[in-house]
């Protein structure tokens, strides 16, 4: 019997419109853009703040301490403007989280922000994965701010006849053990136990070993420690992502997606999206003080890629904060220019004051750079990549 060609293939098979993304650079169709209102400095124990945050700003990280009101208000204007540009100029579907009073989150303990959705949600193929946050202050962040967005997605998928899976993080029952043996006030004997747990997954950082600020007693990972390159996700261990977190992610990802770990040499590692920046299939920019070309090449997925280190060291440039009195970058390194977001393989959104970086992308790679203001969002802990979750990228 000869089967007739099926001409009634449902749209799900050819062009998914609700959830579908397997890389960082195919033409973007839909995304989430965060919201800054009521952002608080994350209150995590001092050993975590020391491990991940710029020394100058450590005193700010205390319970119930809001970011300066004018910075938060301007950050929201920048996020609204970014959303407007994505909708009006690029015709993208933009989802926004709910406004949450973060002071009341976590039974009054306080939360952090709704401005950094990349850390908490990731789309892999047609699956949405929620992070198992290491930071206690971020627990509940997705439920509080993104519940309605996730509902909209599920509803939209149902209407469109698309099959979408949302993988919510497991609830932690009882006390969280992630910092056991690592807190400053732990008794030395506890710390020894913690160090042992911790020591099982130290990353070899050149000649030294990084002691992470979390142990491996339960899965922990932030989605921003991973990037998609087709069916391979490249990720890193960090102060918020442990081996059990990576195992968890491997277990929940649909076939044939896999996770490979990049051996980064960053003592303060937390999120991979200022360490590597793929511009398009075949071209990737990297931060040479955090990862080597040799280490990147070890991953087959980059075998024939053009791998380009940023040719200057932003750490050696004059402090922008001193130069132009811009708002402090309380939570980020100077490599934040790499935290750009691709609209497609030729178009990328870059912070408007990162002119040197923007011009380099134009001249060296022929990119069209969309310059938008985002310095106040930067102040809260990230740039365009951090502040977004790409939901639909058209398959190339």
Residue 321 CB neighbour total at 10 angstroms: 14
Nearest to ligand DAV of 30, 270 (CB atom): 270
CB of 273 vs ligand DAV, minimal distance in Å: 5
CB of 181 vs ligand DAV, minimal distance in Å: 26
Given 119, 222, 266, 390, which residue is catalytic?
222
Nearest to ligand DAV of 43, 333 (CB atom): 333
Given 271, 287, 332, 385, which residue is catalytic?
271
47 is catalytic: no
Helix (H) or strand (E) holding 147: helix 141-160
CB of 272 vs ligand DAV, minimal distance in Å: 8
CB of 217 vs ligand DAV, minimal distance in Å: 24
CB 120 within 8 A of CB 220: no
CB of 332 vs ligand DAV, minimal distance in Å: 4
Nearest to ligand DAV of 23, 333 (CB atom): 333
CB of 240 vs ligand DAV, minimal distance in Å: 10
CB 218 within 8 A of CB 174: no
148 is catalytic: no
Helix (H) or strand (E) holding 391: strand 388-393
CA distance 222 to 141: 12
Question: Which residues of this chain interact with ligand DAV, rule CB under 6 A?
Answer: 224, 271, 273-274, 332-333, 335-336, 339, 381-382, 386
CB of 77 vs ligand DAV, minimal distance in Å: 21
CA distance 128 to 254: 10
Nearest to ligand DAV of 20, 146 (CB atom): 146
Q: What is the token pair recorded at 245?
A: 């977190």
Nearest to ligand DAV of 61, 156 (CB atom): 61
Nearest to ligand DAV of 78, 273 (CB atom): 273
CB of 203 vs ligand DAV, minimal distance in Å: 16
Measured at the CA of 17, the angle between CA 16 and CA 19, to 5 degrees, comes to 80
CA distance 290 to 50: 18
Nearest to ligand DAV of 18, 129 (CB atom): 129
Nearest to ligand DAV of 19, 276 (CB atom): 276
Q: What is the token pair recorded at 150?
A: 């996730």
CB 381 within 8 A of CB 113: yes
271 is catalytic: yes
CB 104 within 8 A of CB 43: no
Tokens 């001092």 belong to 46
- Using CB positions, name the residue nearest to ligand DAV: 274
Long-range contacts (CB closer than 8 Å, 24 or more residues apart) made by 11-15: 11/160, 11/161, 11/162, 12/160, 12/161, 12/162, 12/163, 15/394
Rounded-to-10 torsion of CA 376, 380, 383, 386: -150
CB 383 within 8 A of CB 351: yes
Given 132, 137, 332, 386, which residue is catalytic?
386
- Which residues are tagged catalytic? 222, 271, 386
């Amino acid at each position: 019997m000869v089967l007739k060609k099926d001409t009634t293939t449902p749209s799900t098979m050819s062009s998914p419109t609700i959830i579908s993304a397997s890389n960082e650079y195919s033409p973007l169709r839909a995304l989430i853009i965060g919201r800054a209102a009521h952002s608080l400095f994350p209150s995590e124990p001092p050993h975590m703040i020391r491990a991940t945050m710029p020394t100058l700003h450590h005193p700010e990280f205390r319970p119930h301490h809001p970011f300066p009101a004018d910075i938060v208000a301007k950050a929201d204007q920048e996020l609204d403007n970014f959303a407007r540009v994505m909708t009006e100029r690029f015709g993208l579907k933009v989802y926004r989280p709910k406004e949450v009073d973060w002071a009341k989150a976590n039974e009054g303990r306080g939360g952090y922000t709704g401005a950094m959705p990349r850390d908490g949600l990731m789309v892999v193929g047609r699956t949405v994965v929620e992070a198992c946050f290491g930071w206690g202050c971020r627990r509940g962040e997705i439920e509080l701010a993104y519940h309605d967005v996730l509902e909209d997605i599920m509803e939209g998928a149902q209407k469109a006849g698309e099959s979408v899976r949302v993988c919510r993080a497991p609830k932690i029952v009882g006390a969280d053990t992630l910092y056991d043996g690592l807190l400053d006030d732990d008794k030395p004997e506890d710390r020894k136990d913690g160090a042992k747990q911790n020591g099982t997954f130290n990353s070899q950082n050149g000649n030294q070993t990084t002691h992470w600020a979390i142990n491996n007693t339960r899965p922990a990972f932030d989605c921003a420690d991973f990037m998609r390159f087709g069916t391979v996700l490249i990720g890193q261990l960090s102060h918020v992502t442990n081996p059990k977190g990576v195992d968890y992610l491997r277990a929940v990802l649909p076939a044939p997606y896999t996770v490979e770990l990049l051996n980064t040499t960053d003592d303060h590692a937390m999120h991979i999206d200022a360490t590597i920046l793929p511009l398009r299939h075949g071209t990737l920019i990297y931060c040479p003080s955090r990862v080597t070309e040799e280490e990147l090449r070890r991953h087959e997925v980059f075998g024939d890629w053009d791998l380009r280190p940023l040719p200057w060291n932003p750490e050696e440039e004059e402090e922008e904060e001193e130069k132009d009195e811009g708002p402090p970058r309380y939570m980020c390194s100077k490599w934040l220019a790499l935290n750009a977001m691709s609209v497609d393989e030729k178009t990328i959104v870059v912070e408007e004051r990162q002119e040197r970086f923007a011009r380099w992308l134009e001249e060296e790679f022929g990119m069209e750079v969309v310059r938008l203001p985002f310095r106040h969002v930067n102040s809260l802990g990230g740039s365009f990549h951090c502040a977004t979750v790409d939901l639909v990228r058209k398959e190339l």
